[in-house]
Structure 1
């Protein structure tokens, strides 16, 4: 009888345990999440792929929430919980129902040839993609946050038409919050312009300087090659260097053109594609490297260490074109969606140019360490851009190109970017890096 009693007691104990065990597990789960939230597991450094170029640490969730983000709180929480550095070049394009950051018909600053919708482009799927890094989140651009960081500042975009493309993107994004005033315009095709946002005393400028160094551009009436003086910068932008707080340099495409390179006022180093001239053919890679080194060294030398304002220098890396065929022989870019990651590799000339740019940024960083208040960084947009063959104006560089039917040859622009378009993401990454720097400064101040 005692054996049966003990057996019944043991069975009741087993049943009670089975009933309580799930509730015990459910009770532990919130505690586990709470533990991971405030004390995340730190993996060894060599177990996490990190890029030496654009590396943004997201360890704070105190940023203001963009009013138009689909899940801004979640994005900030993910970055805050992981507390890992993020390589924003490592990712893919994913569908985005929210669409563009601005209405291209209302901001009033877009070059006509990049205003694709106004020129009749009807396949608008290219507007509904966003860049998703693999190991973190990239928040939508918050104009209010940008204004907060850049109040009373002067930002300069200096270089080729990619610099113009990017500054017009930024102007359109910011115009959704505050209207800019055009305060200066000069040069053919508005190559030198300046805007001011009076509510924030923020100034944006664009300087046409496709080589960064001093140069004479080829013309229809003169020699069919550019002349570059690699030992000195273009003073049209350099003379204003003391006025800048943030600079975005952008060069690359003009180095593909025929050119003669000078290491001194009269000393010829060589040339790129110069048949008929008595110069050594050396290609353009060395010239590009020397131009970047001259540019960064000039910034370092002319930066006044006594200046209390920080100077932040970015170099936007090369943005590949997407011509199917030769650009001047009916080449086109008809694709209507991004490449998958495994569908397109960064290689050849595009990879070579980016590599030179990244190396020169790193070299300049080491030389700038002795100059307080000067920061140099890469805005690495090469892979991001390479995967977007659908984002160019294509035939819509001209108004309604098919209004009279499909012609034998319709000129395409497969270099620049529609606005709105993929180039807006460049500015989102720019803001992420600025946010990172602000958080670092706050921690250094003990705030």
Structure 2
């Protein structure tokens, strides 16, 4: 692998050039919209027949309309075929994911006395149904099945399904089926891409319509989610992978290079930057990256090289710590690693990231698989306003209030004044002497 890793010096860039570094591959989805719209329309018209046809056309998988749902035989065969060591690692990960999300789960209801005799609070309930989207285009991702379905089960979602593209053999990946069973999901469907999003948004004979879909995906999935967002909650915007490794002068640049390859190997549509104000670290990392590519397979090394030598990857050298942190916050990465001997000294200034992994012993690999926090994170700058997938994605709050007879008059007086000012006569009448007369009987 001989491609040159991009090297950007922020001090030498124009505002436009700096802005281009902040772009993602899915920022503009207009090129996908026409084709995705046709896929969605086909699924609405033809249902399972369209899903099977798209599986054959796009996934090169021999799937018929009667074979969309994974069978009990598929689950049993997957359990027997899966490498025991892989299953053990999945058990290890599932335990951490379940514990983290159980600890995250809010109390079922709280009610506080806001004023003497006036009580208000929240009641939390699970959403009625959800689909977990598990991608497969560049590999198999049972970790995504665990990360999406376990929080949903912890939240108590009564109807939970998984949709995932079939492989070339027409079947669901063995580890994904085992992960589904670990999480307690019995219904897994062979559908991926835009067609899967359409199926769970509108329903087919086999695939149920659900209230929400969660999970990362390609620009095709992202475009489909935008187009059906008026009929289904599409959750956290989770597109192609992205990473910033923020490194100071206390670390070895080879370590930064090693970690930069973690997310850049996901695919050619990923984004990954090393951001540092140490020229030594930048040069050490740039020199080391080709050596690490040589230790990878051709496909993953090729993905990484495409990213790190392309328009949305490489090394960014800042003038100082302030400029590096400002760039990182502007970027709002999905994954943010802070490589430093004292990483906590920077934490208070890092405002926008899907996750922040601190120190030399916390590479993104651990967060992606076994630490417990969710790895389905906001992308494309949405970390400025959105959060990682959590139990809260599978729950909704209802406000609760109760006012005693003693507390009512003061509240009614002030509410009536505001209602009258805003011109709402019905509001005002409902807390006027008209109500008092009725309540007196």
Same fold per superposition (TM over 0.5): no
Instruction: From the CA coordinates, give the structure whose radius of gyration is larger.
Output: 1
* TM-score normalised according to structure 2 size: 0.29
Question: 1 or 2 for the larger relative contact order (CA 8 Å, sep ≥6)?
Answer: 2
* TM-score normalised according to structure 1 size: 0.29
Q: Which has more helix, going by share of residues? A: 2
